[in-house]
Amino acid sequence: MNLSLLWIPVTLAAAAAQTGRNATQRRLTEQIGTVGATQVRFLYGFPFALLALAGVRLVSGEGVPAPNATFLLYVLGGAATQILATALMLSAMRERAFSVVTAYTKTEPVQVALFGLVLLGDPLTPPVALAILVATAGVVLMSVKPGTSLTSAGVRPVAAGVAAGAFFALAAIGFRGAILSLPEGSFVIRATTTLAWGLGLQTAILLVWLGLFDRRALLASFAAWRPSLGAGFLGALASQFWFIGFALTTAANVRTLALVEVLMAQAVSHRFMAQTTTRRELVGMALILGGVAFLLLSQH
C-alpha cells in the first residue's frame, strides 16, 4: 500500500480538529484564565491518548516501543515548548480576534522548515521553500489590518502570537524527532506512543505548576470539566493526526498544509463571532491556497 500521500488527508483532519479545540479553549480562557485553559488540553487529553494507544495495540497486535534517551530528550522538548506556545496563543486571543491570532501563530512553517533542516536533517527543496513563503505571506497579509498601527496597544498580542508560532515550530520538530528516534514499530504505533508520552509529561508539568502557583486555576479547570472534556478530546484527536503526519513526512510539509486552519478559523469567526471578511483577507486566503496547492503539486 502506497502511504506517500496519506499525510495530506491526515493533516487536513488534524487542522479541522484543532480549529474546534482552539474555539473551545478560547471560551474556557474567559472562565478559568489562560493557564487553566492551557492545562485543560493536556490533562483532559491524556486519557484519550491512552485509549488511542490501547486501541492501536489491540488492532495491530504490536507492542509499545521502548523509549530511549534520544526519544525522551525530544519528547520532553516538544512537550515543554508546546505548553509555552499554547499559553502565549490563548493570552493573545484574549485581546485580538480568533482568526487574527491564529494567523499570527501560523508564521510557524518558515521556522519549522529551518529547524527541521538544522536539527533533523529534513530536506528542504526550492519548490517546497517557495510554497512555504507564499502561504506564509498570505497569513501575514490576513493578519495586518488596514489603518492599524502595530506600535499601538496591539503590539503585545502580535508579539505573543508570533512567539507562539516559534514555540509551536520547536514543538513540531521535537515530536517528529521523538517519533523518528523510536527504533521499531509501525508509523501509527510510534506516533501514538509519542502522543501518550507527550501528553503525560505535559499533564505532570502543569499539575505541579498549578498546584504550586495557581491552585485556583487548577480547581476551576476541574469545576469546568464538561467543556474541558470536549477540549481535551479535540486536542488529543488533533494531536493524533498531527503525529501520524509527522511520522509520514517532514514537519515543514505538515505545518504548511496546516495553514488551511487559518481559513477554517476565519469561517468560525464569520459564523459564530459576527466578524466580516475584508478584501485584504480574501487576497491573503488566495495566497494561502496558492502556496498549499504548490506544495501539494511539488510532492512526488
pLDDT score of 149: 47
- pLDDT at res. 139: 80
Residue stretches of the chain with pLDDT short of 70: 1-2, 95-100, 102-103, 143-154, 268-277, 300
Q: What is the pLDDT of residues 265-300, one digit of tens each?
A: 777 666 655 566 678 878 888 898 899 998 988 876
Asked whether 156 and 95 are in contact (CB, 8 A), the reply is: yes
Q: How much is the pLDDT for 153?
A: 43
Q: What is the pLDDT of residues 43-87, one digit of tens each?
A: 999 999 999 999 999 999 999 999 999 999 999 999 999 888 877
Total-model pTM? 0.86
